[in-house]
Structure formats: C-alpha cells, structure tokens
Structure 1
Amino acid sequence: MDKQVLLINDLAGYGKVALSAMIPVLSHMGYNLYNLPTALVSNTLDYGKFDILETTGYIRNTIGVWKELGFCFDAVSTGFIVSELQAGVIAEYCREQAGNGTLIFVDPIMGDEGKLYNGVTQQTVGHMRRLTEVADYIVPNYTEAVYLAGMPYKKDGITKEEAGNLIDRLRQIGAKSVIVTSACVEGNDTVIGYDHKTGQRFFLTFTLIPVRFPGTGDIFSSVLMGKVLAGEGLRESTQKAMDIVKEMILRNRDNVDKFKGIPVEVCLELIDI
C-alpha cells in the first residue's frame, strides 16, 4: 500500500496521544507516514502541569521548503492546532493540497462536554470552519460539531432529526463526509455518520466504558482514515474503528497511570481483527 500520508498534529514527549498514537497505528496499517508537529508538548495535559512549544514558524518554513522540493501526499490529516495564526497557515496549505487531489481528513480538536478548551477562541472556530470547507472527512465530537455548525449544545441529547440537521449544516459549510462522535441520540451513546459516496446517513450505537484514556480519539481517527484509504466504506470503517478502540480500552482498563494514554505498540494486532 504505497500511499503517502501527512499527519499535522502535536507531539507529546510523555504519553501516547496525537502523533505518538497515530504513527504506530498507521505504520502498522502499511502507510508511508510524514509528520508536521503543531506543537511540542511535555506530556499529556491530564497531569495538570505541562509545557507547550508552538511551532507555527517552523510549519510555515517547512511548507515553503516542501513546495520547493515538490513533496506531495495522498492524504493529509489535521488534529490539534495551537493558535489562530497556525490554523490559518494550515487551512491555506490544506486548501492548496486539496486542489491537487489530496484527501483531507480533519479532526477539529476544540472542546468537549459543551465547552471550548482553554485558549480556544471563536476565531479559532472560524479557522476550523475554513478547514472544514476543504475537508473530505471531518471527525468532530458532538461539542465540536455544534460549534462548527453554529448550533446550540444540548446536554440531554438530540433526536435523529436534529442529528440530521447537524450533519446537513456541516455539509453546507463544505465537509463531504462527516463522522460525529460522543453524541447522545434519543438516549443512546451514538456515532453519527454521513457518507458522501453513498449519500447515506448512519447511526452506530455503543456502550460507554467508564474509563478515560487520553488519545483514544487519535486512535479512532487513525484507524478510520486507514480503513477509508484502503477502500473500505465509511460505515464499515467507522464501526471497525469503534470496535478496535473499545478492545484497546478494555485491554488496558486496569493500567495504573491512565494519563499516559494507551500503550498502542503492544495492541497493534487488534487492528488486524
């Protein structure tokens, strides 16, 4: 599988999240991987104390060098973006790449449980909309989806009709296919999907495991992207990503230090199920 995949995300020195989680997963799936770190992070943020080095200048310079060298990719995946300025640089690069036929996967990491993360502003939301405009696939959680769509967050959940309206709004912005995770639809924990290739919506329910690991969203996005790039349908790819993340959580649920994330390298055989 000779596909070139660029991952634009942060790199944690301590903990299996973002690039540290995605690279092992997609390498195992057979892709040629390249990376553009949006920040160097001392450790996962769950520890409560951390240091972040933003890399916007490096990103801008690297993109310039890559253009001169003629580097191109079959797919680009974006994740954590540190600042409004960085979001603008990355959005412009993805727009250029999309114009060359590159598939764009966007995980618009901005918030959860109805709130934006510290440091994420409405201007950042606007830049994430610019990424959404050129995205072939977006994978927001429910909170991020409503912020992108400019719709209200409903703590008690939504109906299937409201879920459909949310998908429609994200597609109006420009996203082709949409996966919304961590939603509650008519009382059930649900992943909501829309596949632009088939024109079909789907609702995949799951049972929430009461254990939290950072980085599970990155693993989910990686498996989903890997399966889609391998030619599998979006619904099937989404279900497989859900199943694999579930098995990884169950295998590691008794780990003492969950803030490290899941030790992906010792779980890779689960991807082959």
Structure 2
Amino acid sequence: MSKKHILLINDMAGYGKVATAAMLPILSYQGHPVYNLPTALVSNTLDYGKFNILETTDYIKGVFPVWKELGFRFDAVATGFIASERQAKLVSGYCREQAARGTTIFVDPIMGDEGKLYNGVTPATVNSMREMIGVADLIFPNYTEACYLTGSTYNEDGIGLDDAENLLDRLRGIGTKSALITSVLIDGTPSVAGYNHRTGQYFSLPYTEIPVHFPGTGDIFSAILIGHLLDGGQLEASTQKAMDGVYRLIDLNKDNKDKNMGIPLEKYLGIL
C-alpha cells in the first residue's frame, strides 16, 4: 500500500512529548512520510509552570510562497495549536487551497479542557478555530472545545446520547464533514462520540479512565487515528484503535516520576 504524505501544522516543544514531538514519531513509525510546520516553538510542556513561547506566524507567511513555487504537495494536512488569529487566517487559507486540490484536512482545535479555555486563548481564538473547521474533513475537539465552538453550555456532569449527537450536528454546521468529540461523559460513561459523513452514522465508544495526567495524550490519539485513516481504516474502527493505544501507553507509564514531560513514546512504538 502506498503511504500518504502528511504535513503537521502544530507547535513544537523542545522538552516533552507533546504536539509535533508526539505525533511525528508515531506517524513515521506507521510508515507515512511526515513533514512539519511549527506554529510556535515552546521551551517545554506547559505543565512545568514556566515556559517560553515563540510564535512563528511571520515564518509561516514566508514558507507558503516558497512551497507553492517549488510545487510541494501533501496528501493530508493535520493542524493543532494555532497561536493567533492572524496565524489562523494564513493556515486556514492554505488548507482551503490544498483541500480544493483533494488534500484531506484534519483539525484538532486545541483551546481548553474541563470547561475552561487555556491561558491566552481568547474569543478571537475561538472564532479563528471556527474558520479552520470550515475547511476540515474531520475535526476532533474535546467536549470543552466542542461547547466553545458551538456556543453550547458545558455540563460538568456530562450529557446524554441525544445531546452528543446534537452537538456533533452543530459542529458539522460550521463546515466539517465528519466529527469526533473526545473526553465527554455520555450517560455517565467516559466516551468518544462521532459522526461519519461517509456512512451517515453516529457512534459512541466508551472507555475506562486511568486516574493520572500526561500532557500530549490528545496528540497521541490524533496521530494514531490519522495514521489508520490514511491507511484506509474506517472512522469508528480507527477511533477505537486510537483509544486503545492511548490507554495502553498511559497504563504502561502510569508510575513514571516525571509525568510533566509526557510519555516517552520511542520506547513503545512497537505496541501501536
């Protein structure tokens, strides 16, 4: 099977396995040629409490004309952390051009968790992410992000299956073809809810939580999911494989002393 060329547009951490540093080894191990465009350079994972960030919007602005002149093309583009509204306009414009040529666009609208936006994320950021979603084939926000994107009320006690399907419909109304909502309590059970535009079907996949926190698990989920989809996997089955992979990695590393650095992926690629 011919492997798909994928461009990762996400931040790059110097210390820690998150974002591009987490996704690149997984997709490369799966055999996909991987390219990257950093949206920001981050000194270390934010979980350490102190960090330095360099936004790369001016760099990105100079990259796209060069790539266009050289004729670089990708089978898929996956976007993650977007550092500013200006950057979002640049990236979404590029993704729109690529989508018109048949490139598959994956969007992880990284903005918040547990009912709150991350520090530095503003209403303008939310609007920028809506622009990104408008060009997407598949998005996978967590429950918090899905609520902010659709203007829905966040319920810390979770939602019912009908509410989950309604939230998926509202996300699709912004423009994406298919959608997942991760980390959502559905009828009291931690789940991933989804809609597959190819089949017209909704689905809900339950999972068991392990009570430890690692940064970067969402990026690991994204990479495993995208890798299987690029190999021709169906959305529901690929989502389940991504959930299983994240669970196994967390379980194997739950006793690590320094969890702030994320999961040391290179030791465990073989299990994926």
Normalising by the smaller structure, the TM-score range is over 0.9
Shift of 1:88: 1.3
- Give the equivalent residue in structure 2 for 1:158: 159
AA in 2 matched with 1:228: L
- Give the equivalent residue in structure 1 for 2:255: 254
- Give the equivalent residue in structure 2 for 1:118: 119
Secondary structure of the residue aligned to 1:135 is coil
Shift of 1:219: 0.5
Shift of 1:127: 1.1
CA deviation profile, 1:80-112 (whole Å, cap 9, x unmatched):
111111111111111111111100000000011
Cα pair 2:143 2:182 within 8 Å, conserved: yes
- Give the equivalent residue in structure 1 for 2:69: 68
CA deviation profile, 1:228-268 (whole Å, cap 9, x unmatched):
11111100000000000100001111111000100011110
- Give the equivalent residue in structure 1 for 2:212: 211
- Give the equivalent residue in structure 2 for 1:38: 39
Query: Where in structure 2 are the equivalents of 1:220-231 lying within 5 Å?
Result: 220-231=221-232
1:232 paired with 2:233, answer yes
Distance 1:84 1:120 in 2: 10
AA in 2 matched with 1:182: S
- Give the equivalent residue in structure 2 for 1:101: 102
Distance 1:224 1:76 in 2: 14
- Give the equivalent residue in structure 1 for 2:131: 130
Distance 1:133 1:53 in 2: 27
Cα pair 2:195 2:202 within 8 Å, conserved: yes
- Give the equivalent residue in structure 1 for 2:48: 47
- Give the equivalent residue in structure 2 for 1:19: 20
AA in 1 matched with 2:196: D
Distance 1:250 1:173 in 2: 36
Distance 2:84 2:148 in 1: 17
Shift of 1:124: 1.0
Distance 1:254 1:153 in 2: 32
AA in 2 matched with 1:186: D
Count of residue pairs brought into register by the alignment: 271
Cα pair 2:105 2:135 within 8 Å, conserved: yes
Secondary structure of the residue aligned to 1:191 is strand
Distance 2:118 2:260 in 1: 18
Secondary structure of the residue aligned to 1:134 is coil
- Give the equivalent residue in structure 1 for 2:7: 6
CA deviation profile, 1:18-58 (whole Å, cap 9, x unmatched):
11110100001110110000011000000000000110000
Q: CA RMSD in A?
A: 0.7
Query: Where in structure 2 are the equivalents of 1:190-205 lying within 5 Å?
Result: 190-205=191-206
Distance 1:3 1:203 in 2: 28
Unaligned runs of 5+ in 2: none
1:145 paired with 2:127, answer no
Shift of 1:123: 1.1
Distance 1:114 1:216 in 2: 18
Shift of 1:64: 1.1
Distance 2:182 2:271 in 1: 21
Unaligned runs of 5+ in 1: none
Cα pair 2:7 2:36 within 8 Å, conserved: yes
Shift of 1:2: 3.1
1:171 paired with 2:168, answer no
